[in-house]
Amino acid sequence: MSKVISVSQLHKKYGQTQAVDGLDLEIEQGEIFALLGPNGAGKTTTVEILEGFRDRDSGDVKVLGFDPATKGSAGQGWRDRIGIVLQSTQDAGDLTVYESVSHFATYYKNPKDAREVIELVGLTEKSDALGRTLSGGQRRRLDVALGIIGSPELIFLDEPTTGFDPEARRAFWNLIRTLRDEGATIVLTTHYLDEAEALADRVAVIIRGQIVEIAPPAELGGRATSLATISWRDGAHTRSEKSAHPTERVKELASQFGGEVPELSIKRASLEDIYLEMIGGHDE
């Protein structure tokens, strides 16, 4: 696969605060890539530099083959290839869904069909509804419609499901997968670890402006080979122990108890367990 984003030794400082400190990053075409990290870790600054909305102090950056800082060489053609869905927008409240999407389509050289995009994000029944009358989840879907109407190759999603109920979040995840299946590369920032695990091909954990690890969610922090915690009831007490071979230990316990092991549970470290261990001591 070709590299959609390539970053080397990225630095950005605000006064005495080093927001991004020598960050290296590569994202491949067709990936869903999640950026994780506590508040103030440098995620937003990094993404804004990639989007071309913030200048860097130093480092090499290429997004779709162009340096976002050199607006002249990238130009509108480069901007047309990128879709951005911000964390919160309240514009165009007095326009209908169709009016908003069709209006945004005029900004791009090769936009998608407005009706098709509205259908893709699940808002067909709300095509004639004003933006200000939409629910939070519907408004988020409209935000995505505005972000993808230009047929972008690369989509930035900033905390896309903040405030969603569980059903709306999972419906939105299906939409993200559809966009990926249609060929888009997606960069996602989220505080929801289950969201990163459900969607991302790879995740990067950023702490104090540096990436401490990049891996598939199932492998982050050695998760795939972490010890399993086995718990069971032994009389009046609950006992637990860690084991690299939980199946063998359960067989031993089953023999000890003569069959069923009371209140048996086996658990490996979750993505949240690993993540919280990695960011220990940093505010989330």
In order, the DSSP letters of 54-71 are S--SEEEEEETTB-TT-H
Q: 3-class DSSP state for residue 257?
A: helix
Decide if 263 contacts 232 (C-beta within 8 A).
Answer: yes
Integer CA distances (angstroms), 211 to 4, 89, 109, 208, 281, in order: 18, 29, 36, 8, 16
- Cα distances (angstroms) measured from residue 117 to each of 113, 165, 199, 266, 283: 6, 23, 21, 44, 38
Asked whether residue 35 is assigned to any structural domain, the reply reads yes
Q: How far apart are CA 259 and CA 56, in angstroms?
A: 63
Q: How far apart are CA 273 and CA 229, in angstroms?
A: 13
- β-pair type (185-189, 32-36): parallel
Does 26 fall in a domain? yes
DSSP secondary structure string, 98-149? HHHHHHHHTTSSSPPPHHHHHHHTT-GGGTTSBGGGS-HHHHHHHHHHHHHT
Residues 66 and 15 in one domain: yes
Are 209 and 235 part of one and the same domain?
A: no
What digits encode the pLDDT tens for the residues 122-136?
A: 899 999 999 889 888
* Residue 269 DSSP label: P
Residue 136 in tokens? 């939070």
**Do the domain assignments include residue 103?**
no
Within-domain flag for 91: no
pLDDT tens for the chain, residues 1 to 284: 589 999 999 999 999 999 999 999 999 999 999 999 998 899 999 999 999 989 999 999 999 999 998 855 566 788 889 999 876 666 667 899 999 999 999 988 889 999 999 988 889 999 999 988 988 888 888 888 898 899 899 999 988 887 777 887 888 898 889 889 989 999 999 888 999 999 999 999 999 999 999 999 988 888 777 788 899 999 889 999 888 888 998 999 999 999 999 999 988 888 888 888 888 856 55
pTM: 0.82
DSSP 3-state assignment of 246?
helix
Q: How far apart are CA 227 and CA 268, in angstroms?
A: 7
Are residues 196 and 214 located together in one domain of the fold? yes
Domain co-membership, 67 together with 8: yes
Same domain for 2 and 49, yes or no, is yes
**Are 124 and 104 contacting, i.e. CB atoms less than 8 angstroms apart?**
no
234 and 276 share one domain: no
156 found inside a domain = no
- Helix (H, G, I), strand (E, B), or coil: what is residue 228? strand
- Summarised one tens digit per residue, pLDDT across range 192-251 is 899 999 999 999 999 999 999 999 998 888 877 778 889 999 988 999 988 888 899 899
Q: Tokens 């997968």 correspond to what residue?
A: 177
Any domain includes 173: no
Residues 263 and 192 in one domain: no
Q: Tell me what the pLDDT averaged over the chain comes to.
A: 88
| pLDDT at position 276 | 86
**Claim to verify: residue 4 and residue 51 sit in the same structural domain:** yes
Radius of gyration of the chain (CA): 23
The range of the structural domain enclosing residue 202 comes to 1-75+184-226+272-284
How many domains is the chain partitioned into structurally?
Answer: 2
Residues 221 and 238 in one domain: no
Domain contains 158: no
Who contacts 238 (Cβ-Cβ below 8 Å, separation ≥6)? 231, 232, 263
189 and 260 co-located in one domain? no
Asked, for residue 248, whether it belongs to a domain, the answer is yes
Q: Are residues 202 and 249 in the same domain?
A: no
Residue-by-residue DSSP string for 194-207: HHHHHH-SEEEEEE
| Cα angle, residue 264 at apex, residues 261 and 267 outer, rounded to 5° | 145
Is 262 found in the same domain as 191? no
CATH of the domain at 23: 3.40.50.300
Distance CA(209)–CA(60), nearest Å, equals 16
